[in-house]
Amino acid sequence: MFEHPSRNIEEPLRDLVGAYRFREALSLYLEWCEGPVEVTPHAQLMAAHAASRIGEFELAGCLAAAAQLEFRARGDDTGVIDCANLLGAAAFERGHIAEAEVQFRSVLQMAESGGHARFTARSANNLAIIAHLRGEDQLAMALYRKALDAFHRLNDERGIVETWHNLALTQRESGWTADALGECHRAVHAAERLGAAGLLALTLFGRAELFIASGAFDQAASDIERARHLAWLEGSEPHVLESERLLALLALRRGQPEEAHRHAELTRARAAESGFAQIAAESASIAALALKADRRLSEAAAANDLAVASLAALGATGLLRTHARAWRATAA
């Protein structure tokens, strides 16, 4: 049991977060807060980071907002920027893309004017993700290159790996399959070397989706199952849901529309209930395509309306175009 009066919480929190033991870090913070102690903004921010890593984005946003107020009162610019970046990430994961973009642009502006290279890299990477969602792939790739340059200067391996992963997704959508697969392999191998379960799951998801697109179904299934196991071990709800979404996509591409619809609809409902808007929208897309492929046309039409509305609500123009192409190509 953690003894409140005798130790500063920041040091054990920092150790747990640094070891990627995010659920333990958040539990420690919440237990600490039950006692008659002063909670520092640094502790709130570390707890917010831990919450975001396990999918508790609502809590992460609340903690980051509270910490940012205190950092601003103290004149701590680095703390203010860190909180803004986390607020953007929490908004993005809840599907509030416009709000996330405002936060990330403010981070980039503050970081560049204040010489904060780490946040320049992070915000460029995050803005690139939004550009990719909107189908602005040239802008996305330019921002990813900017992020990679900054991460390399910082020797930030985790940032480099995350950006390789994101860059591969954009390259895939642009038709550069060989380049995308190379980035995916590099990201997976680097994540394995770093020993970070959440990062490895993320890179395996990216590679699995590329394998599905290229028809390498057995390799995709292997990556999905491996990432799914990591997600359960880590206790990451968004990663568990992403593994289910990819299983639905794999079944669809294998010509198993009934199984695809079952997986996709269950994932859509769970993701929507938990507030993971992008996973819910992309699962709705798979469900609609599966129903059309299964010749359940009246159900497919209604599901398609839901998918289009969900993707439009995200502002995901690029995903909307991808869904429209797949809808037209799916034989009824």
pLDDT band at 18, cuts 50/70/90?
Answer: confident
Is 61's pLDDT higher than 70?
yes
300 within some domain: yes
Backbone φ and ψ for 300, nearest 5 degrees, come out as -65, -40
Task: Tell which of 63, 85, 115 closes a domain.
Answer: 115
44 within some domain: yes
Is the alpha carbon torsion for 327, 317, 271, 216 positive or negative?
positive
Is 108's pLDDT higher than 80?
yes
144 within some domain: no
What is the number of domains present in the chain? 2
104 within some domain: yes
Half-sphere exposure (CA, 13 Å, Cβ side) for 156? Answer: 19
pLDDT of the residue at 178: 73
Q: How far apart are CA 45 and CA 25, in angstroms?
A: 12
Q: How far apart are CA 72 and CA 283, in angstroms?
A: 40
Residue 259 burial (C-beta neighbours within 10 Å; 0-12, 13-18, 19+)? middle
Task: Tell which of 83, 115, 147 closes a domain.
Answer: 115
Q: What percent of the chain has pLDDT over 90?
A: 67
* Region 266-288 average pLDDT: 94
pTM for this structure? 0.83
247 within some domain: yes
pLDDT of the residue at 2: 41
List the CATH number of the domain containing 95: 1.25.40.10
Q: What is the pLDDT of residues 123-137, one digit of tens each?
A: 999 999 999 988 898
